[in-house]
Structure 1
Amino acid sequence: MEESDALRAARAVRRSVLGDAYVDGQSADPDPAGREFQDYITSTAWGVWARGGALASRDRSLLVLAMTAALGRMEEFRVHAGSALRAGVTDEEIDELLFQIAAYCGVPAGVAARRVVRAVRAERGEA
């Protein structure tokens, strides 16, 4: 994909939210199609974050957490749960979000999301 200002901005937001180690790991694919795929998802998904508008990174993070939980995409939920603090989301807000997920997406989705949150917190050395 051609390097554009929009792609550079999307890359910067992705890196600031997910961290260098995660982005570097995802971007290290030696396959040209894999690199193109990374550029595509960066420009589409992270381009939304980079466009500005009325939503702050914190709000976007909470929305992504809610949507990935609702869709049962726990692997992606885990990525965003682990980076939510960098986006300005507090643990207390994530705890409250779990109630919303259980109420509106179903108890199984809420339970699965809570398991992921507990695992992420355990990995960072918290209860």
Structure 2
Amino acid sequence: MRDDGRSNQQSYDEGMGVRREVLGATHVDRATASIDETTADYQDLITRYAWGEIWTRPGLDRRLRSVATITALIAHGHYDELAMHLRAAQRNGLSRAEISEVLLQSAIYCGVPAANSAFKVAQAVFAEAPPTD
């Protein structure tokens, strides 16, 4: 039980709801369909903590959480995750122009090579149809 009285199951359920809203049902369904004994605990962890504890906090809206997430992913070179979160950022209301500004800002604070890679990922994501679910 958390300090606020929510159970782990409540954190999981809220986290799954936010995860589906932010990443899209198709992505989450694909991720959960591949759960096995190797990944079950990990999927539970990210659903309860990343999505149920962090993304549900009231201190930042989803747009700002997307900006922070994009920047962190660029800084650490996690470009597969970046593509997923660029789609999520659009779903969270960031325009392509705003996302490009975040990538440009990252060139200064994360490095030009990192931003170069991030822009390539963004071009590929933007060439896709807009996120629908």
TM-score by length of 2: 0.86
Q: CA deviation at 1:74?
A: 0.5
Percentage of matched positions with identical amino acids: 38
- Asked if the contact 1:74–1:116 (Cα under 8 Å) also holds between the matched residues in 2, the reply is yes
2:90, 2:79 → 1: CA distance? Answer: 18
2:94, 2:75 → 1: CA distance? Answer: 19
1:124 aligns with 2:124: no
- Asked if the contact 1:18–1:83 (Cα under 8 Å) also holds between the matched residues in 2, the reply is yes
Partner of 1:49: 55
1:11, 1:84 → 2: CA distance? Answer: 17
1:7 aligns with 2:12: yes
Which structure dedicates a bigger proportion of its chain to helix?
1
**Aligned length in residues:** 123
1:98 aligns with 2:103: yes
- Asked if the contact 1:69–1:113 (Cα under 8 Å) also holds between the matched residues in 2, the reply is yes
**Structure 1 vs Structure 2 CA RMSD:** 1.6
TM-score by length of 1: 0.90
In structure 1, the gaps of 5 or more residues are none
- Asked if the contact 1:29–1:35 (Cα under 8 Å) also holds between the matched residues in 2, the reply is no
Q: CA deviation at 1:30?
A: 4.8
1:53, 1:66 → 2: CA distance? Answer: 20
